Amino acid sequence: MDADQKMIKWLLLMMTLINPSANADSTDQAFEYLSLNSQIISIHQQQDSEDREPSKFNGKKEAEQMLVWLNQPFDVINKLTTSPLKTLEVEATAYTSHAAQTDSTPTIAAWGDQLKPTTRSIAVSRDLLTKYGLKHRTKVMIKGLSGEFLVLDKMNKRWRKRIDIYMGMNRKAALKWGKKKVELSWKQEAV
């Protein structure tokens, strides 16, 4: 194990001590992040050793400085690896690719995406984009339905806190769905 790998292992240990709630996924992502940036860590180590006179080494002070230095990268790592799950109760209806329900181009969504009958997507009210942070191609989960859906379409401006689940050409399934309150969840983008 070379010096960089030892440093990365030590940093991961420190991360779990600083943030015990870190889950396995965020630790794996942090490891990838640190592995990719091992050269930066080496440069910091080299600069630290050049700045420090060996005769004036103070273990406690050095450890405190290292923790301050560590907190900065982990703030970046946390922002990169932890995306809080945002949830919102919305009214959900369903739509199909029939011209009577959309417009003269029923298989082309608002952003220009081509909808196919097998596409798992939703249209969202404009407030979900502007006020709640959803974006084009955001992956969402709908409580009670399996899998993920992509935000590929926009609804008419008159709707608020509402989604329209795309049902391809299956008008019966859309009518059977009707109108329901559902919980919509998605990963909020890290800042």
What is the model's pLDDT at position 85? 87
Could you tell me the two tokens for 72? Answer: 């900065």
Whether 136 shows a pLDDT value over 50: the answer reads yes
Nearest residue to 186 via CA among 135, 126, 144 = 135
Burial of 113 (0-12, 13-18, 19+ CB in 10 A): middle
User: pLDDT, tens digit, for every residue of 163-184?
Assistant: 999 999 999 999 999 999 999 9
Give long-range contacts, CB 8 A cutoff, 24+ apart: 79-85. Answer: 79/190, 79/191, 80/29, 80/33, 80/190, 81/25, 81/26, 81/29, 81/30, 81/33, 81/190, 82/26, 82/190, 83/187, 83/188, 83/189, 83/190, 84/187, 84/188, 85/185, 85/186, 85/187, 85/188
- The whole-angstrom distance between residue 167's C-alpha and the CA centroid of its chain comes to 26
What is the model's pLDDT at position 33? 47
User: pLDDT, tens digit, for every residue of 16-63?
Assistant: 555 555 554 455 555 554 444 444 444 445 545 554 444 444 555 555
Radius of gyration of the chain (CA): 24
- The pTM of the full predicted model, rounded to 2 decimals, is 0.57
Dihedral sign, Cα of residue 151, residue 155, residue 157, residue 158: negative
What is the chain's mean pLDDT, rounded?
A: 75
Please indicate whether residue 91 or residue 39 has the higher confidence score (pLDDT).
Answer: 91
- How many residues are present in the chain? 191
Domains and CATH numbers, the chain: 3-81 (no CATH), 85-187 (2.40.40.10)
What is the model's pLDDT at position 84? 78
Whether 113 shows a pLDDT value over 60: the answer reads yes
Q: Which residues pair with 89 in a beta bridge?
A: 183
What CA–CA distance (Å, rounded) separates 60 from 150?
Answer: 51
